[in-house]
Structure 1
């Protein structure tokens, strides 16, 4: 069976051949058994007909007559006596031993005829039914494997593949590509590598789509070096890469900022395809997007002009890249111009087009226009997605227009779109910065009501609101609630609490918080030490502040201007101008 599968035979044909071989062997065995039985009967008959008698034979019963032997057989095997009698002399009765051969021959021919009929009846309808059943089971298992891969249950799909192989049925390469794609989507590249190696050894052989999927998996995991290695393995396996292979690698190189290497790879494509004079639409779009992100407007527009000059059919994705490039460079008029050109060409903008325009307008502070675009997209049949709301809510909160941002949140919830925690946190933080603690906690409660669990950033926004309001006790209680929710304060949480304690002159509490963050494995940063230095300077503990400053220098943390300014200001207040000047000289020397 394994040999047949390896040669490309289907599993149903293999089972058909095996069954025929089994029937032939069974017939041979039956034929041999019948011959042996009749041979034994013949030998006993010959012995009974012998005239030679040994001592003691007088007491034995007379041998059975030939008529008695034939009477024990079925009537359909009996022949007329005139066909049995031999003219041989020396026999004083009507028995003829050669007649037994006639009987045996007749019985054997009849048995073989019946077995032949049985074999023909099995080989036609029964084997056809079995072949149909095997084909149906194979198709069913293959479809199940593909469906499991599509829903992300690759482990169950691999188990079913292993069961099929144990039954000597190997799925085709198309099904194996589903498995490789499922493993790459879950970043299980080691098992994908194992599966491809097994395909090379046992079959079916990997094809171009298999290697393209594997290369894309490594590119998505940001392992371009491994992707290039698989590309070389693909070429060494006599599988020629296509445009899809090159576009995957070019996109990965552009994401890493390796534009020069991407252009070299493009040169290899054009060299292999001598009939091509320029990159195709997908390659040009990838390179154009990379140039826009690098701020290389001239190179990006040259690619666009080349596509227009070559009369390449430009799609919505290419226009989205062009509009996004103009929004990055704050050239909104050009973005609007090509947006209108899309409509004139009959290309309908999608949600990415509108989100790009809304983001560009929000960065320029043009919220009226952004709100108008947000309303237009819904009327034109393009439903705003969570990103559409997130962009405009975040932009409004950055400029302090939290009331309008809250209205967009309400609209979002009315459309059955529950935002992610980041959107809630932005509004909570904006209310907190404006000192509106009531609305800040109201948004937090609404967040919980919709089943969205708060994270560390949510608590930090509330802690910041309490600290800004001077409620150090309430801020400290929020830190305790974080532990009850299974969250741990980060360095931002401790910095806000330490800063609030230092402002109020509670240096003992500030040092306790510093020791606590060390116990929890939270490393202090430059802001932590700056707050402690400022607190000691306010309390007049200049020597302790100097010790902290020396400690910062030993830790190797990047020191900004804040600790220098705090100590220089304190030296000036206490009249230590020489020390202030020396510290100022160190500051200038460090900057140089």
Structure 2
């Protein structure tokens, strides 16, 4: 049964409006009937005839709780309900409140309902007055969903309405571009910022740019940004310095990282536990002797208290080196160091045990974990499930999944992913699909990887058309919206010989407004070279550069391999020279590809001689040289065509 809400009731329930005052005369004890304290700022349009709204009793209850929405806790009214009430109030002629509408826009983007956010903005633009904060919320939402074209349209509409972008607007755009690997465009936005009045880039802006620059391995570029930042009177904060530390560690420049962290007090900034944890993490990956223990001592000496993350990093190192006895001793020393092991600590050790097949020690460790008050988490079970699936014990893994559910632990994506992958690997596609359905029914949203594994299995099982149709349906429902999903389908379809379908995937991606990323180009280059279409791959290489995606050594190696397999060594050497000229550092695989190219073209002795020369120059390892000698045992005369690469290598590595 529906009731007609009178104008009197609606005028007392002005959602999205300011200066509301609760009445003391209400009949329903759980309702907050509110009335307007002032009306003049609402600009109610006298020419608009309020409409009679048909609503159910539940809708009436929603309208009676309008004031709940403007409180920080939005749990009592859903975003969809709030949008409904906003539409009702606009029909009554009320002017929406910009602050509450902005919060609603953010809420819709949080739950991936961009179209609803657009609807709120349309109502606000038509009947209210959006401000720069509202537009920033829209731009942020679209950028996080990788819908950059829509973000640009919002930016243009913002300018048309006479609202100037502020530093936050530009920083949002810069962060989005950096996140998509388009640093060159982000730097152009920075230049535009500097030309704008009252829109100076701040510490956050520069830190984001430095982080992206360092992620690309350009230490010099990051230092230039730091110098520019200082010249503009901006003081770096600890987050800025930690970003630089991370970049130095990523490049293996540990000495420079140590020097920087020790110079921070003189720069007016004290290193924190994150600073030292960054160095420790690099030490874990580098294998540098007892550097971790030295760092721990230095931290304490400088008054920085190690935290549980610090000790867990050391534990990861010990387990990674197979030093399980020392790991046991170290975890038991935590209390003496002023820190209690947590479930993550035990999970690290449990994972190391199971990686080495120590299932018997598993029970001992779990008992010790429970005795310290640490309850197994979903991660603990995930570690066990991964080990079972890796060892081919899928049925046992399914039993463990059932136990998890029975004791009240909700499986997450990390639990289902190895199970789905193992099911597909064993050809049990029906089980994989059942697990996917179970994920959804348990409130666990499948990720792109889950879908990709099943779609790949469909393709390899001879059901490419079904996989493409399923993929399209998933895209329509919003389950697959990112570039990685398209990259995966592109690669799988090409590898099973469905080249036309693979290339159509790229067209579909562009049509949906999803821009290719670096991995898209890598996938296409790899596919083209595997298909003998090296010239087409070279055209794509040039296209990459024009789109601000400089080819890396991985892509160059793919093209070199394609040329060598086609016995086009002169062109391979030309590409080799080009990559060096463009500052792309060849790796050991680069040289092995070229040496193999000479050898398989008949110049076996020359290939071994070149390999020996490069080994003496510490360019390739002894293991690689031994592999070359085993490959090219037979002597066949040939033209000594290796000189150009030999000369280039000597010029590169002789200082």
TM-score by length of structure 2 reads 0.49
* Counterpart Cα distance in 1 of 2:17 and 2:401: 64
Counterparts of 1:553-592 in structure 2, within 5 Å, are: 555-556=496-497
1:227-279 CA-to-partner distances (Å, cap 9, x unmatched) read 22221221122111011111110111011110111122222222333x99x85
For residue 146 of structure 2, give the secondary structure of its aligned residue in structure 1. Answer: coil
Counterpart in the other structure of 2:262: 340
Aligned to 1:241, the other structure's residue is in SS state coil
Q: In 2, Cα distance between the equivalents of 1:517 and 1:342?
A: 56
Match of residue 112 from structure 2: 187
Give the gaps of 5 or more residues in structure 1: 16-139, 496-512, 530-551, 560-586
Aligned to 1:481: 399
**Change in CA separation of 1:491 and 1:7 when aligned onto 2, cut-off 3 Å:** closer
| Contact 2:105–2:138 under 8 Å retained in 1 | yes
Alpha-carbon separation, structure 1, partners of 2:428 and 2:273? 47
Higher-Rg structure is: 1
Compared with structure 1, are the counterparts of its residues 397 and 9 closer, same or farther at alpha carbon in structure 2 (3 Å cutoff)?
A: closer
Q: Does 2:282 match 1:364?
A: no
Report the secondary structure of 2:70's partner residue: helix
For the residues of structure 1 that align with 2:312 and 2:347, how far apart are their CA atoms?
11
Name 1:291's counterpart in structure 2.
213
Distance 1:300 1:338 in 2: 14
The 1:556–1:297 alpha-carbon spacing in structure 2 relative to 1, beyond 3 Å, is same
For residue 353 of structure 1, report the CA deviation from its aligned partner: 1.8
The CA deviation at 1:7 is 13
Partner of 1:19: none
Gaps of 5+ in 2: 1-6, 21-35, 41-64, 406-414, 434-452, 462-492, 499-522, 527-563, 568-592, 598-655
Which deviates the most, 212-221 or 326-335? 212-221
Q: Secondary structure at the match of 1:247?
A: helix
Deviation digits for residues 313-339 of structure 1, max 9, x if unmatched? 221122112111111111112112221
Q: 1:177 is matched with which residue?
A: 102
| 1:308 maps onto 2:230 in alignment | yes
CA contact (8 A) 2:388 2:397 kept: no
Q: Give the direction of change, closer, same or farther, for the CA distance of 1:162–1:233 in structure 2 (3 Å limit).
A: closer
Specify the alignment match of 1:221 in structure 2: 145
1:148/1:156 contact within 8 Å kept: no
Give the 3 Å change call, closer, same or farther, for CA 484–367 of structure 1 in structure 2: farther
Following superposition of structure 1 onto structure 2, how do residues 139-178 of structure 1 map, counting pairs within 5 Å?
A: 145-149=70-74, 172-178=97-103
Structure 1 residues 554, 7: CA separation in 2 closer, same or farther (over 3 Å shift)? Answer: closer
Output one character per residue of 1:210-237: Cα deviation in whole Å (capped at 9) or x when no partner.
Answer: 1112211222233333222221221122
Q: Which of 177, 191, 195 is equivalent to 1:271?
A: 195
Q: CA offsets per residue over residues 71-129 of structure 1, 9 Å max, x none? A: xxxxxxxxxxxxxxxxxxxxxxxxxxxxxxxxxxxxxxxxxxxxxxxxxxxxxxxxxxx
Moved more, 382-391 or 315-324: 382-391
Q: 1:30-45 maps to which residues of 2 (within 5 A)? A: none
Q: Does 1:460 align with 2:379?
A: no
C-alpha RMSD over aligned residues: 4.8
Q: CA distance change for structure 1 residues 328 and 554 in 2, over 3 Å: closer, same or farther?
A: closer
Distance 1:155 1:407 in 2: 55
Aligned to 1:354: 276
Specify the alignment match of 1:253 in structure 2: 177
Question: Which residue pairs with 2:131 in the alignment?
Answer: 207
- Give how far 1:295 is off: 1.2
The alignment partner of 1:148 has SS state of coil
Deviation, 1:519, is 6.2
Check the 8 A contact 1:189/1:218 in 2, yes or no.
Answer: yes
Which has the larger helix fraction? 1
Deviation, structure 1 residue 426: 4.3
1:30-109 equivalence runs, <5 A:
none
Whole-Å separation in 1 of the counterparts to 2:232 and 2:305:
34
Q: What is the SS of the residue equivalent to 1:182?
A: helix
Post-superposition CA distance 1:183-206 (Å, at most 9, x none) = 333433332222222212232x11
1:327-360 Cα distance to aligned partner (Å, 9 max, x none): 1111112112221222223323334322211111
Q: Distance in 2 between matches of 1:408 and 1:157?
A: 54
Indicate how the Cα distance of structure 1 residues 426 and 238 shifts in structure 2: closer, same or farther if over 3 A, else same. Answer: same
Cα gap change, 1:228/1:554 in structure 2, threshold over 3 Å: closer, same or farther?
Answer: closer
How far residue 208 of structure 1 moved from its aligned partner, in angstroms, is 0.3
Would the aligned equivalents of 1:142 and 1:175 in 2 still touch at CA under 8 Å?
A: no
Residues 9 and 289 from structure 1, CA distance in 2 versus in 1: closer, same or farther, beyond 3 angstroms? closer
| Cα drift, residue 405 of structure 1 | 3.8
Q: Normalization by structure 1: what TM-score?
A: 0.53
CA distance in 1, matches of 2:138, 2:334: 39
User: Aligned in 2, Cα 1:430/1:169: closer, same or farther, shift over 3 Å?
Assistant: same
Distance (whole Å) between structure 2 residues aligned to residue 404 and residue 350 of structure 1: 27
Matches of 1:296 and 1:237 in 2, distance apart?
39
Aligned counterpart, 1:395: 317
Match among 244, 252, 265 for residue 330 of structure 1 = 252
Query: How has the CA–CA distance of structure 1 residues 243 and 151 changed in structure 2, closer, same or farther, with 3 Å as cutoff?
Result: farther
The whole-number CA distance in structure 2 between the counterparts of 1:386 and 1:232 is 47
Give the distance between the partners of 1:208 and 1:235, measured in 2 at CA. Answer: 10
1:503 aligned partner: none
1:238 match: secondary structure: coil
Change beyond 3 A, Cα 1:385–1:239: farther
